[in-house]
Amino acid sequence: MSAESITLTPHSYDKLGIIHCGVLEDETAVCAGDLHKLADGESYTFSRTGITVERKGSDFVFSK
């Protein structure tokens, strides 16, 4: 089974499977209501969903 992923930019949102993900205008990543502000090159795993987000410039890659 391959990993699913979506790439978002600030002020956008989408769903990864059934989980809502987004990026706020201030470059804060949101996943199922949890928030985390990322620096460029940083990654973070949301404990509630297990989804990891990685920031690459203005691109935020959310993956299962």
Rounded CA-CA distance 49/5 in Å is 14
Residue 27 burial (10 A CB sphere; 0-12, 13-18, 19+) = middle
Average of pLDDT values for 2-17?
Answer: 90
Mean pLDDT of 27-40: 96
* 41 confidence band (pLDDT: 50, 70, 90): very high
Contact 50, 43 (CB under 8 A): no
Residue 16: its pLDDT value, please?
95
CA atoms within 13 A on the CB side of 24: 11
Query: What confidence score (pLDDT) does residue 3 get?
Result: 55
Q: Which pLDDT value is given to residue 2?
A: 42
pTM for the whole structure: 0.91
